[in-house]
Structure 1
């Protein structure tokens, strides 16, 4: 009986090999899997399909099966201590550089090897539908082709280092406002043309080892429980032979998940637990064949990637690796997008702009998106430090100031009133127990500490407290307004009496009080704050009641140039929630002061996507979209501003003028509360939708300026080859005075026909670096697939014969040449 069973299993394996899309899946691997599978007890199998210790698979010592170690991604190793914090993967997509995507993955793979990590939980490739999605910064933009090319490079880079990558979140995790309950209802054609391609490319081109399901439902079925998705599409159609794991806590029910094709429940097998699975084996709701299939898939990657006998950390690779730092810096440089540059104010002329003020909440600190993708770096360069360093090298004074530097001078560290500011004491607990870990003088209280903690030595990342103490002594009698805000709790004491007390752990909130102070009188002031996990920020403001003078704006009039660093960070953009389309209120207030000064201003924005800018963009002299630049963001920003680096990033999404313009505006939320969101825009999302709607946009997909100019000429298109492909040739010339890079983008559009198709679709691109005056001939091959669409009748991609336009340009709205061709 055993011989017969093994024979059947071998036949099944042989059949799988015929449709396999992964070269790592070999007959020898399957042979070893069969041997181990035959030696495992039922109890061992049932235990093996659930994770353990948050980031591990289980080990089976008696069979020599070692556990596999995982880490959060996708923009660095976020689980096992400090690591290189790379730019967010949306920044990587903005480089439009496939080779750099490979280097990014390679660097991540090396970081994993240095820590004995076997599985990296990245990349994430969910399509950008709306700027509101909290996890956009982890994704790769609105276009399936761009996302596919970026993801393939990333995965190959990781797996060439002997580390297994994980493509996620399969599928349709395109919003985070109610991700555990929303069913994203998407038709078959739209899935295949827009939302599947990057996953399919990960399987069939990059040969990814693992696929992670999403939290949401697809067409009424949780993705962890969908046999159509996990079996019919992923395995039967695409030939995937690796492991399918759940996202952490996304498995809702035991039987549907067990029958639907989920192999490994993370983090700990809460639903497909051994007890329940054993019970359902007895009832017949689950069979041993189902269990064996799951174990088989886990064992395949364990053996194929060389993890079975255990692995060791590569001591030859530093944990804080200079090579990784160099890769992080290069991605930050190439991923920064110059959107506006009036009168060529950039690069900064050090002979004209001798005094620069850098301001804004994102000018200091490590700025990143929030959630499981957050990474704690060994070191980082903030925006101010990077800009100041470049400024000093060119003889320019660069200083950081904000509104907190212009409050009335009434706060002192002691009774002698000799030193302005507060005495700050930092505690490694939330109860102020023991001696402070750090004591120092601070001029103001205005901190955003989310994700990385205070940055002070020996201070924990979370669960800490801070006490600021000092003496208030006004020079005039007046009513003073005090505003204290924070996330989590805070309180204020004046002369030992409670003035403000909001000690509840909750999201950012603030309290206002008014108190009369007598001139020359000394008042003891104490402010206490604690952080109890998650987001962390605290700020304290004061002013004379009724005094509305903008002292900050008055000072900015003395500067030659202002660099404003604003947008989002881990407090407002991250996993588990969506964010508003509008600019945060504190940024609006800051910009109002800057514009009031009438000093030229350059904006540097952090965000995973677009932000409403009609109110403030017209007043900007230049605008750089930095997304999230990782630990080297400041260095990259300084180099770009002063011209050491010529910006070459391109938007991986369209920036609409207002949220109502977005093709998904009426199909993003769930207004009727039925937990179903139908993607009524179908395939017309992003630039495809704006083209269809003939709608103006703020900045188009693929857009990005340079400090030099380019000329595209000599465009020719071959006749269709016997294999269905078409050759496109052009000449690109750097016609400016600076070295730089341009991305030549090739779009394809069907002319006429009975099937509605987009006006244009990105099908090829090439990033080309040219010295000033240099030219290069570019040759691109458009494969047969570039002319296809998905037919729901044929259940496959098909080509309609007829006329097609081949469009070459620098963005979806900046087409430089159009050539018509007949396709059979």
Structure 2
């Protein structure tokens, strides 16, 4: 009995502490001034500073700072009280705060005001776009630029000038929990889509942050895993997309939690200084991932990590002053880090705005329609036997919608990328709205399989909506203690245990699909889902990802043919998980090999269930007349590859033309083929377009670790072009670099 009373007393004590914490937060929330407006500092500085001018001013400002003021530029401003206020803002008022850091009123230095992403600005009432993986499936750089443009506008309207939502980590394996935050498995595709997002955001004087640098591809072990990788793999597979971001003048880079070759990425000098600054000439600032992104302040300074976020855990006088006195670090290093931070902030706040950024911009009608278009163009039609889709509203009297997720309003994980739109059109509501009474919509949540079978049996057609939720995959919100095993951490999300649907969903499909062959299975998730346990039971499968706030309307428009599907997989879905790279969620160390995804499937001659770049349409596209503007190139030349694409169907559609290069004559080990270009084209029925894609010879180089340089081989190359990475979909020609 005494033990029971002790447990009750502990519970009561914890509840009292929570109440006191939130009460204190409530007092702080109501008393703390709103985040400062960085643009209010414009009056102190000349308009449209050049880089040289901003740098000169930054040097002068650094010379006037005390040591504590310098650390104020190198750390986030949050404290325990700020965290209490922030949690109260979220839990009580459902308002997502903007995090301001680095303001110095004495010297008129503006703060940066941070908001996260990547599927929209993480503030209340902002637009929730489809997740980045879905947008990767559009293969549409112009559309992604428009998404970045909208996010930049909404960030400014919310009071932010720093956007942390450009996640360009490579999808090494589809089980990765945060796959939904990135664009796909291929470095070239990933980099091009990321650059479009960066350019769209930054045109509104919002600093974009590309993350997480580097080799972050396991979620549940992210705080402890040590990734080993050889130099060619690092340079050719895991860094090219970050180099593209740097070349696009991204304002900021966020380091990763994991170790790389024995050292945490946030204090890894080889990554942050030798490569990022000395080789790539990155001129922005580097920030740590939040809370556990830096473990040693001295190592962080020596590595070149400019800012520790969101508060000062290691960049403190107590940790850094003795290191300066002992000579472990120098004040010159500190000054250079602060100079980079101040220079970048000045460049962005002094740029002239092209418009006003009012509250009406948040989730505006224009942005809602953009979210709808992105959702429509992201959905991938994986199977459509006998042209089962599109459905005809005039030919059915009843439509069964089966699956709990069909009536769920989640838009992806609830971690740092969680969005809070003003409303969400669920899959069920989208279909109900489309019907508008023209046919009966029968909903069954699928929890009772017999009930679902009965609903399917009495309907003319069936739409199953199955897949994942934020509890199943996403950012793994934990205590972050590397000594605690993942299964003992608190939180949700994390990596998937496998690539199949959850057991109940699989059973639901296998038991219910046979009772009505007029069915389409709609898959919800942030990454690839294997279908081979049930896919022969249905004529049609549609991958919808997490399709954002307008997802239900987009689904209805696709299923009933108002919109022709045009999405293509940005990843490979295997027939057997053993055909992919080794993956384990709870792991202390791992080696990342040279091959993954389609390059590994090609190398080992394993046919995928659905290849990288694959996606069906209600139209058919034929490729012909492959032409090269030259067959012999110098290393400084660019090859122009052209092909005729014809829409042989009866419906206007969009096709993603993909160009791959083959390296079969290489003297070093290379992938069988690599993506090196893509264009999305809209074609009317019976229309033919000539699509031209340039390929620079320098982009075919391999990294020679012996001489620490990129080399272009003088040899014959193959060029492949078509509608997916599947060999049967590709035309081929050859050219030589000499």
Structure-1-length-normalised TM-score: 0.76
Task: Give 1:694's aligned residue.
Answer: 605
1:51 pairs with 2:76: yes
1:239-638 correspondence to structure 2 within 5 Å: 239-249=281-291, 250-306=293-349, 314-315=357-358, 317-370=360-413, 371-392=415-436, 395-403=438-446, 550-576=450-476, 577-581=494-498, 582-638=500-556
Distance 1:302 1:693, change over 3 A: same
- Aligned with residue 647 of structure 2, among 718, 723, 734: 734
- Aligned with residue 211 of structure 1, among 242, 247, 253: 253
Where 1:56 maps in the other structure, the secondary structure is: strand
Distance 1:24 1:763, change over 3 A: farther
Deviation of the 1:312 alpha carbon: 12
1:83 pairs with 2:126: yes
Where 1:357 maps in the other structure, the secondary structure is: strand
Task: Give 1:656's aligned residue.
Answer: 574
Deviation of the 1:802 alpha carbon: 1.3
Report the Cα distance in structure 1 between the residues aligned to 2:142 and 2:287, rounded to whole angstroms: 29
Deviation of the 1:401 alpha carbon: 1.7
Report the Cα distance in structure 1 between the residues aligned to 2:270 and 2:625, rounded to whole angstroms: 48
Contact 2:128 2:411 (8 Å CA) reproduced: no
Report the Cα distance in structure 1 between the residues aligned to 2:57 and 2:204, rounded to whole angstroms: 23
Bigger drift between 718-727 and 744-753 goes to 718-727
Where 1:111 maps in the other structure, the secondary structure is: helix
Report the Cα distance in structure 2 between the residues aligned to 1:773 and 1:309, rounded to whole angstroms: 47
Contact 1:729 1:778 (8 Å CA) reproduced: yes
**Which deviations, in whole Å up to 9, do the C-alpha atoms of 1:387-408 show, x marking residues without a partner?**
2222337x2222212346x7xx
Where 2:662 maps in the other structure, the secondary structure is: strand
Where 2:558 maps in the other structure, the secondary structure is: helix
Report the Cα distance in structure 2 between the residues aligned to 1:366 and 1:278, rounded to whole angstroms: 51
**Which deviations, in whole Å up to 9, do the C-alpha atoms of 1:340-379 show, x marking residues without a partner?**
0011110002343321111112101223322211101111
Contact 1:563 1:603 (8 Å CA) reproduced: yes
Distance 1:89 1:172, change over 3 A: same
**Which deviations, in whole Å up to 9, do the C-alpha atoms of 1:513-551 show, x marking residues without a partner?**
xxxxxxxxxxxxxxxxxxxxxxxxxxxxxxxxxxxx924
Report the Cα distance in structure 1 between the residues aligned to 2:597 and 2:105, rounded to whole angstroms: 51
Contact 1:748 1:786 (8 Å CA) reproduced: no
Distance 1:358 1:670, change over 3 A: closer
Contact 1:151 1:202 (8 Å CA) reproduced: yes
1:736-755 correspondence to structure 2 within 5 Å: 736-755=649-668
Instruction: Give the unaligned 5+ runs of structure 2.
Output: 1-47, 84-98, 477-493
Task: Give 1:819's aligned residue.
Answer: 733
Task: Give 2:722's aligned residue.
Answer: 809
Contact 1:591 1:616 (8 Å CA) reproduced: yes
Where 1:123 maps in the other structure, the secondary structure is: strand
Contact 1:77 1:84 (8 Å CA) reproduced: yes
Report the Cα distance in structure 2 between the residues aligned to 1:622 and 1:403, rounded to whole angstroms: 19
More helix by share: 2
Report the Cα distance in structure 2 between the residues aligned to 1:309 and 1:201, rounded to whole angstroms: 26
Where 1:712 maps in the other structure, the secondary structure is: strand
Where 2:522 maps in the other structure, the secondary structure is: strand
Task: Give 1:496's aligned residue.
Answer: none
**RMSD after superposition:** 2.1
Deviation of the 1:25 alpha carbon: 6.6
Report the Cα distance in structure 2 between the residues aligned to 1:36 and 1:319, rounded to whole angstroms: 35
Task: Give 2:173's aligned residue.
Answer: 130
Task: Give 2:109's aligned residue.
Answer: 65
Task: Give 2:615's aligned residue.
Answer: 704
Report the Cα distance in structure 2 between the residues aligned to 1:25 and 1:134, rounded to whole angstroms: 41
Q: Count residues in correspondence.
A: 649
Report the Cα distance in structure 2 between the residues aligned to 1:551 and 1:210, rounded to whole angstroms: 53
Task: Give 1:190's aligned residue.
Answer: 233
1:781 pairs with 2:691: no
1:223-238 correspondence to structure 2 within 5 Å: 223-238=265-280
Deviation of the 1:593 alpha carbon: 3.8
Contact 2:205 2:353 (8 Å CA) reproduced: no
- Aligned with residue 584 of structure 2, among 666, 669, 690: 669
- Aligned with residue 121 of structure 1, among 154, 164, 186: 164
Report the Cα distance in structure 2 between the residues aligned to 1:28 and 1:632, rounded to whole angstroms: 45
Deviation of the 1:140 alpha carbon: 1.0
Report the Cα distance in structure 2 between the residues aligned to 1:325 and 1:750, rounded to whole angstroms: 44
Report the Cα distance in structure 2 between the residues aligned to 1:742 and 1:313, rounded to whole angstroms: 37
Contact 2:398 2:460 (8 Å CA) reproduced: yes
Report the Cα distance in structure 1 between the residues aligned to 2:347 and 2:382, rounded to whole angstroms: 46
Contact 1:734 1:740 (8 Å CA) reproduced: yes
Report the Cα distance in structure 1 between the residues aligned to 2:562 and 2:133, rounded to whole angstroms: 23
Contact 2:376 2:565 (8 Å CA) reproduced: yes
Asked which structure has the greater CA Rg, the reply is 1
Contact 1:116 1:311 (8 Å CA) reproduced: no
Contact 1:362 1:566 (8 Å CA) reproduced: yes
Report the Cα distance in structure 1 between the residues aligned to 2:209 and 2:568, rounded to whole angstroms: 26
Task: Give 1:800's aligned residue.
Answer: 713
Report the Cα distance in structure 2 between the residues aligned to 1:801 and 1:368, rounded to whole angstroms: 49
Contact 2:204 2:353 (8 Å CA) reproduced: no
Bigger drift between 300-309 and 554-563 goes to 300-309
Deviation of the 1:308 alpha carbon: 11
Where 1:174 maps in the other structure, the secondary structure is: coil
Report the Cα distance in structure 1 between the residues aligned to 2:577 and 2:266, rounded to whole angstroms: 32
Report the Cα distance in structure 1 between the residues aligned to 2:273 and 2:562, rounded to whole angstroms: 51
Report the Cα distance in structure 2 between the residues aligned to 1:255 and 1:145, rounded to whole angstroms: 35
Deviation of the 1:786 alpha carbon: 3.3
**Which deviations, in whole Å up to 9, do the C-alpha atoms of 1:223-252 show, x marking residues without a partner?**
011111100100111110101000002111
Where 1:820 maps in the other structure, the secondary structure is: strand
Report the Cα distance in structure 1 between the residues aligned to 2:568 and 2:455, rounded to whole angstroms: 35
Where 2:100 maps in the other structure, the secondary structure is: coil
Bigger drift between 780-789 and 258-267 goes to 780-789
More strand by share: 1
Bigger drift between 43-52 and 803-812 goes to 43-52
Where 2:180 maps in the other structure, the secondary structure is: helix
Runs of 4+ in structure 1 deviating by more than 4 angstroms, as ranges, are 307-313
Contact 2:412 2:546 (8 Å CA) reproduced: yes
Report the Cα distance in structure 2 between the residues aligned to 1:309 and 1:779, rounded to whole angstroms: 36
Deviation of the 1:316 alpha carbon: 6.8
Deviation of the 1:707 alpha carbon: 0.1
1:163-202 correspondence to structure 2 within 5 Å: 163-202=206-245
Report the Cα distance in structure 2 between the residues aligned to 1:219 and 1:32, rounded to whole angstroms: 38
Deviation of the 1:800 alpha carbon: 1.1
Where 2:425 maps in the other structure, the secondary structure is: coil
Deviation of the 1:721 alpha carbon: 4.7
